Structure 1
Amino acid sequence: MKDPVFVIHGVANRDRDEFATAVSALAIAAQVAMVPVHWGDLGAQDQFIDAALPAYRNAPETLRDSETPELVRAEPFAAAVFDEPIDEGRQLSQVDAALRAQLGEGDNGQDGGLRDGAEPQLDPDQIVEYVTELWADTEWLSRTGDPLLLRETGRALARSLLDEIDPDADDPYDGLRGDGTDRDSRLRSLVRRRLQDLDRVAGAAVQAVGARLNHAVRSRFGPGTTRFLGDVLVYQRHRDAVHARVRQVIDEVHPDIGRSRDRPVRIAAHSLGGVIAVDMATATVPLWTESLVTFGSQAAFFHVCDPRGGQLMPYAADMPVHLPASLHRWTNLWEPLDVLAFAASKVFRLHDGSAPVDLPVGHQASTGMWTHSAYWDLPYVAAVIGDVMRQDGTAPRQ
């Protein structure tokens, strides 16, 4: 009978009982015996992290009737939002096509076309000429390459101009009736005002969405990321204490486990737990590891940035790092939206020359955007762990 699989958690696991419950559920799903290795009490002090996160001030729902939100000036915020070079000709072609289409619809197909009907008509060439002339003065529209926004700008501009010459309107714009220089000047002025209106609406929308997104990222994802960084910093400083905790838990099952190739340990590890497992398996005095499954882990990332030492050589371009025989088999799971998950197969080679097995974990909409903690409840993760831990030297099912 094999020894149990030891499960090492990652960052921000402060509740020992909660972690033990998660491991019990994973053991049932994977159909292998597991022992939780809890080291969270040695991690960063994270109870006051929220005090360091900036708050979103002047959120619309907190405003009084007499107040208005303090929107950021378009410069430099607009430049930060739309930082890619924009092809003005392509922008204007989108506006042009939508504007002409809308003016055509406004004519309702009646005889005479856009210029010859009985009612006053608008010359699309003239309007596009004014738009082209005034386009550079817009702060937001001139920075976007979004086709939908540009097309809607053209449609909205055309509709507003059609409304101005509608004879059935309550207050038709008589200044657009007739011919001559005065009419052209009034039309140009009207195009300018409507473009300015549309530009302000676009700017207000972008800033409002940006502010809310900023707030959501900081409040929803910020604490998780910050706790990750905090525990990483503590682990870097107190690595020996964390390793001693892992060794202590293993010794409580049997002191021979992991001491030699004759009785290697099996480990499943999440996030920073995977870094801990690789560090211990490749140390000068290693934790002999038969099978390692990491999920949402950063061992390769850390080694590329800062070589881990022990028996590992630094990584060089196109020169994978050879792992010692003390790490026999490694399967690494990553979820596509997990920004804290990294691949291992390009950075490392096992002792037999093969690469660690990188397996993508399909994203489930129910997990939301912060997926770093989602692995525990995913059936595929449990299935892979079960496969790896039950098989000797064979690849897990894909």
Structure 2
Amino acid sequence: MNEPVFVIHGVANRDPDGFAASVAALRAATGLDMVPVHWGDLGADDRHVAAAFPGRTGAPVVPGPRLPEDGGLRSAPGDGWPQVESAVRTWLGKAADGADSGLRGAPAPAPAVPDGLFEYLADEWTRTEWLRHSDDPALLAEAGRALAETLAEQGGPGAGAGAGAGHGYGGYRGYGAYGGSGAYDGLRGRDGEDADGRLRARLRDRLQALDRVAGAAISAALGRVNTVMRTAAAPGTARFLGDVLVYQRHRDRVQARVRETIDRVDPALGRTRDRPVRVVAHSLGGVVAFDMATSAEPLWTSSLVTFGSQPAFFHAIDPRGGSLPPYEGADPVVLPPSLHRWTNLWEPMDVLAFVTARMFRLHDGSAPEDVCVPAPASGLNWGWTHSAYWDLPLVATEIGRAMAAALH
């Protein structure tokens, strides 16, 4: 008797009318009597999933704590540090070029940087959490400029005696005074304080502040990108992964829907070896059909055609139970006689399609048939071929061939 073929959809199918139209097109292409089995209304509820996304509540995204000062793990100065040092020297030179030495017609002396200062800054650069990873020229140039401004601020207008006291450099608040040696006269410390130590402390504080600002800016920008990408991908992601999770937890409800649809045609179908059903299933629908055909109380299936499906993948990482032992990596798992014939179609660009012959053997010792059904290069979204099977003529051809063989 030529019984109808039951067609089970996969994940993220919420449109029963659209699914019925796809089955009708497949019916026309194969000439087979087909019955759609729609279970998408039992899938994941994705209405409120956006509430779990970062950045949706307005909570700030801030950088983590800095590494400890006493020997925490650090890296060598990144490739960006030489650019920062060059920027500091450049801005110091510009400051001097725009200043008056105090002697009519004479240029200002080039500021001399205390010994070891750049080595100190290079070491502090390795302690930053964000800046040391940057290779952006604009960001590195601005970091150098900010450090140069800190050097200028440290001296302050009229901080010391000697030529040039009280004169600023290039719009800075004042480089301080330079004696005949060209050293930082304003940093000598009238009260005996360690001027070099104070300078280093201020530079360290400025660098830490810059790092916090950079971290906050980067985090905010990435948070916005995160939100945009998640919002754009939310419906598909929630429904795809969500349906998998829902089926794993509530497979009885989904399988009951399949059984109810079969019972409306004929309650005896699939309950005994003598009245098996024929099933076509896409994606997770193939897992549903496979689970039912191999369960302790199986859906007796004369021919199963899966396309873009994952029974082998799921059984490898989470044995399906029922009457199946786990796959141990050597001998294939022997399927029960309740699954008589299995044809598995896969498209090479579909990352959600898996093969079956290496992992399983049918009850008669033969392997399930894996058939490659490549999609045409034209008019195809190569990033997502998982839904292309319904429109591939070769899929209809293979379904017709497999179902005809099941009648003999």
Q: TM-score, normalised by structure 1?
A: 0.63
The residue number in structure 2 matching 1:248 is: 263
- Read off the aligned partner of 2:259 and give its amino acid letter: A
Structure 1 residue 349, shift from structure 2 partner: 1.9
Alignment of 1:277-296 (within 5 A): 277-283=289-295, 285-296=298-309
Q: Quick one: structure 1 residues 193 and 269, their matched pair in 2 at CA, closer, same or farther if it must change by over 3 Å?
A: same
Residue 88 of structure 1 deviates from its aligned partner by 0.5
Counting only pairs closer than 5 Å after superposition, residues 54-73 of structure 1 correspond to structure 2 as: 54=51, 70-73=59-62
Partners of 1:95 and 1:140 lie apart in 2 by 12
Matches within 5 A, 1:1-398: 6-25=6-25, 33=32, 35-40=34-39, 43=42, 46=45, 50-51=47-48, 54=51, 70-75=59-64, 88-89=75-76, 92-99=77-84, 120=110, 126=116, 128-135=118-125, 138-141=128-131, 146=133, 148=135, 154-161=140-147, 169-171=170-172, 174-175=175-176, 178-180=182-184, 182=187, 186=199, 189-190=202-203, 192-210=205-223, 213=226, 217=230, 219-220=234-235, 221-222=237-238, 224-235=240-251, 237-238=252-253, 241-248=256-263, 251=266, 265-271=278-284, 273-283=285-295, 285-297=298-310, 300-301=313-314, 304-310=317-323, 312-324=324-336, 326-331=339-344, 333=346, 341=352, 343-345=354-356, 348-351=359-362, 352=365, 354=367, 357=370, 375-376=386-387, 378=388, 382-391=392-401
Structure richer in helix, relative to its length: 1
Contact 1:304–1:315 (Cα < 8 Å) also in 2: no
Correspondence for 1:63: none
Matched residue, 2:161: none
Distance (whole Å) between structure 2 residues aligned to residue 24 and residue 122 of structure 1: 84
Percent of aligned pairs sharing the same letter: 19
* SS in structure 1 of the partner of residue 326 of structure 2: coil
- Cα distance change, pair 293–118 in 1 and its aligned pair in 2 (3 A): farther
Flag the 1:86–1:276 CA change in 2: closer, same or farther, 3 A. Answer: farther
Is contact 2:294-2:335 (8 Å) kept? yes
Distance 1:392 1:193 in 2: 73
Where structure 1 has 5 or more consecutive residues not aligned to the other structure, the ranges are: 61-68, 80-84, 109-116, 394-398
Deviations 1:348-375 (A, max 9, x none): 2233454663869899999799x6xx63
Q: Distance in 1 between matches of 2:345 and 2:130?
A: 44
**What's the secondary structure of 1:238's corresponding residue?**
helix
CA distance in 2, matches of 1:154, 1:349: 58
User: Secondary structure of the residue that 2:354 maps to in structure 1?
Assistant: coil
CA distance in 2 between partners of 1:58 and 1:329 (Å): 47
How far apart, in 2, do the equivalents of 1:141 and 1:238 lie? 53
8 Å CA contact retained: 1:6, 1:267: yes
Distance 1:139 1:386, change over 3 A: same
Q: Deviations over 1:125-149 (max 9, x none)?
A: 956423344246534446xxx5646
Check the 8 A contact 2:335/2:361 in 1, yes or no: yes
Query: Residues 55 and 215 of structure 1 are in contact (CA less than 8 Å); yes or no, is this contact kept in structure 2?
Result: no
Q: Would the aligned equivalents of 1:270 and 1:297 in 2 still touch at CA under 8 Å?
A: yes
Max radius of gyration: which structure? 2
Distance 1:365 1:152 in 2: 42
* Change in 2 beyond 3 A, CA 1:280/1:70: closer
Cα distance in 2 between the residues matched to 1:215 and 1:55: 14
1:93-140 deviations in whole A, cap 9, x for unaligned? 3233433565788899xxxxxxxx987368799564233442465344
Deviation of 1:327 (Å): 4.5
Distance apart, 1:173 and its partner CA: 5.1
Q: Is the 8 A contact 2:307 2:389 kept in 1?
A: no
8 Å contact 2:344–2:356 — kept in the other structure? no
SS in structure 2 opposite 1:275? helix
Please report the RMSD computed on the Cα atoms of aligned residues, expressed in angstroms: 5.3
TM-score (norm 2): 0.62
Once the two structures are superposed, what CA deviation does each residue of 1:282-308 show, in whole Å capped at 9, x if it has no partner?
345453343522325456315642433
Aligned letter for 2:79? Q
2-structure distance, mates of 1:135, 1:228: 47
How many residue pairs get aligned? The number is: 351
Superposition deviation, residue 20 in structure 1: 0.8
Residue 390 of structure 1 and its aligned partner are, at CA, apart by 4.6
- Shift in Å, 1:8: 0.6
